[in-house]
Amino acid sequence: MYKLDLYKRPRILIILIIPLLLLTACLPDTPAQIVGTPRSRSIDAQPIISTYTDTEYENTPIPIPVLYRTQNTIPAIFEPLDGAYLAAWLSPHTCKRSFSSQAGKSHAAFVREMYLDEEIPINWLLQCLAELATPLLIIHPPRQQNQETEDHIPLGDQIAYLAHRLGSFNMPMFIAFYPPGMIPHSANISAAEYAVIFRYARALFLSYAPQTAFVWIAQDTNTTIRNAFFPGSDAVDWVGVPLFARRNVYGFAGNIIDTFAPFYHTFRDHHPIMVLPIGVSHFTRYDHIYNLEDAEKEIPRIYQALMSFPRVGLIAYADAFSINTSKQDDFSISVERSLMSAYGNAVEPEHFTSLLTGFTNVYHYDSPQPMWTRSTFLGYIYEGRLYIDVETLTAELSTSPPRVTVQIGERTFAPAENINRLQISFCENKQVILVSHPV
Looking at the structure, do residues 305 and 405 belong to the same domain, yes or no? no
Query: At CA 236, angle to CA 230 and CA 237, rounded to 5?
Result: 145
- Pair 244, 117 in one domain: yes
Q: Summarize pLDDT for 293-346 with one digit per residue, the tens.
A: 888 999 999 999 999 999 999 999 988 754 444 567 778 888 889 999 999 999
Structural domain contains residue 62: yes
Q: What is the CATH number of the domain that holds 285?
A: 3.20.20.80
Question: Which amino acid is it at 109?
Answer: A
Alpha helices in 51-190 (DSSP H): 96-103, 122-130, 155-167
Regarding whether 343 and 308 lie in a shared domain, the answer is yes
Residues in the chain: 439
Whether residues 303 and 408 share a domain: the answer is: no
Interval 161-192: pLDDT, tens: 999 999 999 999 999 999 987 776 556 789 99
Is the CB of residue 420 less than 8 Å from the CB of residue 427?
no
Q: Do 153 and 301 have their domain in common? A: yes
- Tell which of 299, 329, 353 closes a domain: 353
The answer to whether residue 359 sits within a structural domain is no
Q: Residue 426 sits in which domain range?
A: 2-72+369-436
* Rounded mean pLDDT, 217-239: 94
How many Cα atoms are found within 13 Å in the side-chain-facing hemisphere of 115?
Answer: 12
Q: Which of 321, 353, 385 is the last residue of a domain?
A: 353
Do 89 and 64 reside in the same domain of the chain?
Answer: no
Both 343 and 287 in a single domain?
yes
Other Cβ atoms less than 10 A from the Cβ of 130: the count is 10
Do residues 67 and 86 share a domain?
A: no
Count of domains for the chain = 2
Query: What's the mean pLDDT when you consider all of the chain?
Result: 82
Q: What's residue 148's pLDDT?
A: 54
DSSP 355-420: S-S--SS--S-SS-EEEEEE-SS-EEEETTEEEEEHHIIIIIS--PPPS--EEETTEEEEEGGG-T
Task: Name the percent of the chain lying above pLDDT 90.
Answer: 60
With beta carbons less than 8 A apart as the criterion, state whether 243 and 201 touch.
no
What does the pLDDT look like over 110-128, one tens digit per residue? 999 999 999 999 999 999 9
CA–CA separation, 380 and 57 (whole Å)? 13
Q: How far is CA 161 from CA 145, 172, 212, 328, in A?
A: 15, 18, 15, 38
Q: Is residue 12 part of a domain?
A: yes
User: In DSSP terms, which residues pair with 423 in a beta bridge?
Assistant: 436
- pLDDT at position 103 over 80: yes
Indicate whether 317 and 395 sit together in one domain.
Answer: no
Q: Are residues 6 and 136 in the same domain?
A: no
